[in-house]
Structure 1
Amino acid sequence: MLIGYARPSAEDSDCQNQLLLLKNAGCTELYIEEHASPKKRVQLLKMLEEAESGTQIVVSKLYTFADSTRHLVELLDKLETKGLSLLSIHENIVTKNDMEYPFTKILHSLADFQSDAISEKTKAGLSVAKDKGAVSGRPRKADENVKKAIEMYNSKKYSLVEIKEKTGISKSTLYRYLEN
């Protein structure tokens, strides 16, 4: 069984081009989102819930189906778990018999690579910034405010609310400094 899935996009806001492709591909059932937003993909969830093992999900483009590489990996894993496969017309990708070209495995590797590349670039950027003297994390509170807050706390004459109002030091920040 072939099930088509469509979602509005900038180039196909009413899904007409996608629907034509899906019908020409032989889809007997269609799930069409009402909006392009990645949130609240009601029809996608409904389709994944209702599709039976052996069914092939057909989309015009991978982006219609998923919003990111990581999202695509998650969806392909769900399809595999349910015994479903994916056909993406534009990219000419079929996951049904991908023994020669295991698309899902390659996609997992690409997603890991993408994550590692972002992580390494972030770490390198932080290292360069640190070498230039930049300090990461939240800025420290002024020492005089901290000293005043500690004195007020130790005097036992002020409530935590009063200490915060007068010094700008929150309860959690004050406790953190008291622990040291």
Structure 2
Amino acid sequence: MTKTTAPVRFAEGDPARVGYARVSTADQSLDSQLDALRDAGCGIVYTDHGVSGTTTTRPGLDAALAHLRAGDVFTVVRLDRLGRTTKHLIATVEQFEADGVQFASLTEGIDTTTPAGRMMFTVLCAVAQMERDLIAERTRAGLDAARARGRKGGRKPALTPRQVEQVRRMRHEQDATLEEIADTFNVSRSTIIRVLNAPAPTNA
């Protein structure tokens, strides 16, 4: 269980530049990120130690976001310290913009307080959209190829054709109950009902 730690404060930094640092495992050190954020002028840095980027709730990040006010600059060392996914990252920065908060990522050179930094973020959004479009295109191409070979996309059937035959025999010839058949094939009762209600295959 992670614990919330007090933020690190740098007296020489700008209180309006709010930093955030994170490492995924307890044996990793936050020192390099803290040094970089101090050098970038952060007056306060919130941290998460031993918290994966895929974790929905991150106490340090939640505290940092609650601290932000319009005019603040939220700063991270790398983009992956903030966002679980590109989609999540973009949504977060867009929310910053709506709240009047600026964003900076030191490694990627993104700083929405500058025209160049805003352009970098726009490029990031465009790349993310292109990735989504490519994934969708590959998915459609894969489904088209599968259909061309006589296969349909979707979830694998719970029962093989041979098992479907056995289900029908158990029900119609052996008078087995739906529960008995479902237990035999380790599937739900509703699956057995669907199999029995489906048209029986015809042999050409």
Q: Give your verdict on TM over 0.5.
A: yes
Q: Counterpart in 2 of 1:176?
A: 194
Contact 1:150/1:174 (CA < 8 Å) preserved in 2?
no
Residue 35, structure 1, aligned to residue 50, structure 2: yes
* Distance in structure 1 (CA, Å) of the matches to 2:185 and 2:24: 52
SS at match of 1:145: helix
**Which residue of 113, 130, 135 maps to 1:96?**
113
Q: Counterpart in 1 of 2:156?
A: 138
Length-normalised TM-score, structure 1: 0.79
Q: Counterpart in 2 of 1:147?
A: 168
* 22-31 vs 166-175, greater mean Cα deviation: 166-175
The alpha-carbon deviation at position 179 of structure 1 amounts to 4.0
Q: Counterpart in 1 of 2:101?
A: 84
* Distance in structure 2 (CA, Å) of the matches to 1:101 and 1:73: 12
Contact 2:110/2:118 (CA < 8 Å) preserved in 1?
no
The alpha-carbon deviation at position 58 of structure 1 amounts to 1.1
Q: Counterpart in 1 of 2:142?
A: 125
Q: Counterpart in 1 of 2:65?
A: 48
**Which residue of 85, 92, 116 maps to 1:75?**
92
SS at match of 1:79: helix
Contact 2:181/2:192 (CA < 8 Å) preserved in 1?
no
Q: Counterpart in 2 of 1:115?
A: 132
**Structure 2 portions without partners, runs of 5+:** 1-15, 199-204
Q: Counting helix residues as a fraction of each chain, which structure ranks higher? A: 1
**Structure 1 portions without partners, runs of 5+:** none
The alpha-carbon deviation at position 130 of structure 1 amounts to 4.4
Across the two proteins, how many residue pairs are aligned to each other? 176
SS at match of 2:91: helix
Change over 3 Å in CA distance of 1:152–1:4 after alignment to 2 = farther
SS at match of 2:28: coil
The alpha-carbon deviation at position 43 of structure 1 amounts to 0.9
Deviations 1:27-69 (A, max 9, x none): 1111011124121322112211221111101111112222321
* Distance in structure 2 (CA, Å) of the matches to 1:170 and 1:69: 38
Change over 3 Å in CA distance of 1:152–1:3 after alignment to 2 = farther
* 139-148 vs 61-70, greater mean Cα deviation: 139-148
Residue 26, structure 1, aligned to residue 44, structure 2: no
* Distance in structure 1 (CA, Å) of the matches to 2:173 and 2:60: 58
Q: Counterpart in 1 of 2:201?
A: none
* Distance in structure 2 (CA, Å) of the matches to 1:106 and 1:150: 61
Contact 1:8/1:15 (CA < 8 Å) preserved in 2?
yes
The alpha-carbon deviation at position 147 of structure 1 amounts to 1.4
Q: Counting strand residues as a fraction of each chain, which structure ranks higher? A: 2
Contact 2:69/2:101 (CA < 8 Å) preserved in 1?
yes
